[in-house]
Amino acid sequence: MSDRMKEWISVVAMLAATAFFWVQTPEQTAQGASIFPVLLMGLMLTLAGIKVVSILVLGVEEEKKKEIPEDEKPDKSRFWFVVVALIAYVFAVDYIGFYVASFVFFFGVSLIVQLEPRTPRTVLIRLAVVLGFLYGCNILFTKVLMASLPKGVLF
């Protein structure tokens, strides 16, 4: 399958996901928690539009068919760690709460999948990004959407 075909398939998948949200959302109003699916639909339509423009205007460059050296190939154990961590995260959110589970998951996964060597600077940057992301989620869900997140036994 060509790269161009893969790009078009991704556009169709985004449009299908948007249509799914459209059908599943009973009312598309911009009030309270019902704004979240509307925001997702808008984001997916925007990304699909950008993808269509990039395909039509810029074209898809064919990737160079070169062999990746053995030492640069991705480690499959990292992939499986992320899969297991994601499953554990889904179950942990209800028990230990959104904030603690999300912090452990995002910070842990970001450190595990990091390819460059870990330095105190990169760890602090990841810590700041995770804390900023969680703060943004807190503002978005509790203040804007007025939806509560799972508290768990720790809060």
pLDDT: which is higher, 1 or 38: 38
pLDDT at 79: 82
Which two tokens mark 15? Answer: 């449009």
Average of per-residue pLDDT values in the chain: 79
What's the residue count for the chain?
155
Q: pLDDT tens, 105-129?
A: 999 988 888 777 888 888 898 899 9
* pLDDT over 80 (residue 83): yes
pLDDT at 62: 45
CA angle in degrees (0–180, nearest 5) for 109-113-114: 115
What's the rounded mean pLDDT across residues 13-36? 72
Q: pLDDT tens, 64-77?
A: 444 556 666 667 78
pLDDT at 53: 82
CB 19 within 8 A of CB 28: no
pLDDT > 90: percent of the chain:
12
Task: State whether the Cα torsion 30-35-37-40 is positive or negative.
Answer: positive
Q: pLDDT tens, 26-64?
A: 665 556 666 667 777 778 888 888 888 877 777 645 444
In this prediction the pTM is 0.59
